[in-house]
């Protein structure tokens, strides 16, 4: 069967069933006769978790993976959803039925619809305040943690305002003006002057030095992060995006949960006014764009580990904490189909590298022996069809809905065909996303709402 046809036939009954079940819970919530205890109007500690590109099926496949292969639960489901409130958010942009990350994050951060490509800027050109800017004005400390570049669309929309998401240097300069107490992620290339190797700035500004002049401690590796102290910290752990969890150098590069733990320690120390902490896993979206189910699952698991830290914090301060877990949009239209079993999950688990790393290992001009050796070493038990092998060797994209890199697309198709984990496309979809809320004000996020309501509720709580 033509792989492009095979993948385009991905089914969504599981996702639809999940949405319907969730909707019933929203419209018929459990009630008791007892009056709820009085709570503070505003939470002192706010966690915002964004699984960039993460849909309901991404979460469910990860939950099944944890349950069947590791005898573990998923904190998002077992703790946040079961103890708190659950809702759905629309994802469309002002100018499209399908959003990009900047328009979606602007809705979540500012409470207004935006055009695709705009960061912290409403569709009418108005520059609104973000929830993080307002939180800082109230005296709260603010922090941003991401395994993307810190200037990427999602974190940038909570801290900056530009008409085009690719104005990276401007976004970095706006971080310097905002002065978040904690800023951890990738993207060192926009912080160093153009004269230094790896820089992508067009000027000679040394933004790291500028942060240090404002009292920031600067770290660039996992060991440095574990030791960092002080009221303000800047951590840049890669030139561009940080690694997929499958590929991460665990001795040098911190994980998302390790960055979250460090941010929590730094923000909490000597803090009487509270904090707002944004944690984003961009790799979930990147894996979706590459149709890389193995990388997606491992990064979603790491995302859940970070959420578990917030849940532990909530258990200590339940009357002062709000934990929010959501996504900006869904990427890829992922779904199991064709009645897979645990065997398919085990095959996915056997994959030890990301598809982008596999393409990097093959290089730009792979030969047949190298392709076959790569599959034998890193995708044990899988086999490339003649058609997929030819696509790699001749650098032929499988179709318009596949990743633009022929090697990534062909390997992704191989995995899908043999594990029954199918994708609609390598792009974003218009699916609604879940929002799970636990703690002070969690009830506001229940039900089916527009993604702009997410920010409006936060503004009301600040």
345 dihedral zone (left: phi>0; alpha: psi -120 to 50; beta): alpha
Q: Note the Cα 301 to chain centre separation in Å.
A: 12
Q: What distance in Å separates the CA atoms of residue 56 and residue 35, rounded to the nearest whole number?
A: 32
- Residue 121: half-sphere exposure toward Cβ, Cα within 13 Å: 14
The contacts of residue 289 (CB under 8 Å, 6+ apart) are 53, 331, 332, 403, 426, 427
The two three-digit tokens of residue 251, written as one number: 């001795």
Longest dimension (CA), the chain: 71
Between the alpha carbon of residue 143 and those of residues 201, 310, 329, the distances in Å are 24, 14, 22
What share of residues in the chain are helix, strand, coil (percent, to 5)? 45, 15, 40
DSSP 369-419: HHHHHHHHHHSTT----HHHHHHHHTT----TTS-SSHHHHHHHHHHHHHH
- Number of Cβ within a 10 Å radius of residue 212: 14
Q: What is the DSSP letter of 242?
A: P
DSSP 243-304: PPTTT--TTTSPPHHHHHHHHHHHHHTT-SS-EEEEEEETHHHHHHHTT-HHHHHHHHHHHH
Specify whether the CB–CB gap between 459 and 40 falls below 8 A.
Answer: no
Between the alpha carbon of residue 264 and those of residues 91, 148, 231, 287, 437, the distances in Å are 29, 19, 12, 27, 19
Specify whether the CB–CB gap between 54 and 286 falls below 8 A.
Answer: no
Q: Which helix (H) or strand (E) holds 142?
A: strand 141-149
Specify whether the CB–CB gap between 69 and 345 falls below 8 A.
Answer: yes
Q: Which of 85, 101, 238, 356 is catalytic?
A: 101
* Main-chain phi, psi angles of 389, to 5 degrees: -65, -40
To the query of whether residue 383 is one of the catalytic residues in this protein, the response is: no
Among 308, 269, 312, 289, which residue's Cα sits nearest to residue 401?
289
Among 109, 168, 334, 146, which residue's Cα sits nearest to residue 257?
146
List the catalytic residues. Answer: 101
């Amino acid at each position: 069967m033509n792989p492009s046809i095979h993948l385009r036939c991905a089914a969504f009954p599981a996702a639809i069933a999940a949405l319907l079940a969730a909707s019933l819970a929203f419209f018929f919530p459990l009630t008791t006769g007892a009056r709820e205890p009085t709570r503070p109007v505003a939470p002192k500690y706010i966690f915002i978790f964004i699984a960039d590109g993460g849909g309901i099926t991404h979460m469910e496949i990860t939950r099944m993976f944890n349950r069947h292969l590791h005898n573990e639960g998923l904190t998002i489901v077992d703790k946040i959803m079961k103890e708190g409130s659950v809702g759905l958010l629309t994802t469309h942009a002002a100018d499209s039925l399908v959003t990009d990350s900047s328009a979606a994050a602007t809705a979540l951060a500012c409470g207004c619809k935006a055009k695709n490509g705009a960061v912290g800027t409403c569709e009418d050109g108005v520059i609104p305040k973000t929830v993080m800017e307002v939180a800082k004005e109230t005296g709260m400390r603010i922090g941003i943690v991401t395994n993307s570049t810190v200037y990427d669309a999602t974190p940038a929309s909570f801290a900056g305002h530009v008409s085009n998401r690719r104005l990276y240097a401007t976004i970095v300069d706006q971080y310097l003006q905002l002065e978040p107490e904690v800023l951890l992620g990738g993207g060192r290339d926009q912080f160093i002057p153009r004269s230094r190797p790896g820089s992508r700035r067009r000027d000679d500004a040394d933004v790291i030095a500028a942060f240090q002049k404002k009292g920031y401690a600067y770290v660039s590796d996992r060991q440095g992060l574990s030791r960092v102290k002080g009221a303000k910290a800047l951590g840049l752990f890669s030139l561009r995006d940080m690694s997929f969890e499958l590929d991460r150098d665990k001795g040098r590069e911190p994980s998302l949960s390790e960055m979250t733990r460090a941010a929590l320690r730094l923000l909490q120390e000597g803090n009487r006014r509270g904090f707002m902490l944004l944690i984003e896993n961009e790799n979930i979206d990147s894996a979706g764009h590459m149709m890389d189910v193995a990388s997606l699952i491992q990064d979603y698991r790491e995302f859940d580990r970070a959420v578990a830290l917030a849940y532990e914090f909530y258990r200590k301060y339940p009357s002062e904490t709000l934990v929010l877990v959501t996504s900006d949009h869904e990427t890829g239209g992922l779904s199991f189909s064709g009645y897979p079993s645990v065997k398919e999950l085990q095959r996915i688990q056997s994959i030890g590298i990301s598809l982008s790393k596999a393409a990097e290992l093959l290089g730009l001009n792979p030969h047949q022996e190298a392709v076959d050796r790569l599959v034998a070493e890193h995708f044990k038990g899988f086999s490339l069809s003649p058609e997929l092998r030819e696509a790699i060797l001749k650098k032929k994209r499988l179709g318009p809905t596949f990743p633009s890199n022929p090697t990534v697309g062909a390997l992704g198709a191989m995995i899908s065909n043999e594990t029954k984990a199918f994708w609609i496309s390598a792009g974003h979809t218009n699916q609604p996303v879940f929002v799970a809320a636990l703690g002070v004000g969690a009830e506001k996020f229940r039900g089916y709402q527009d993604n702009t309501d997410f920010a409006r509720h936060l503004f009301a709580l600040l």
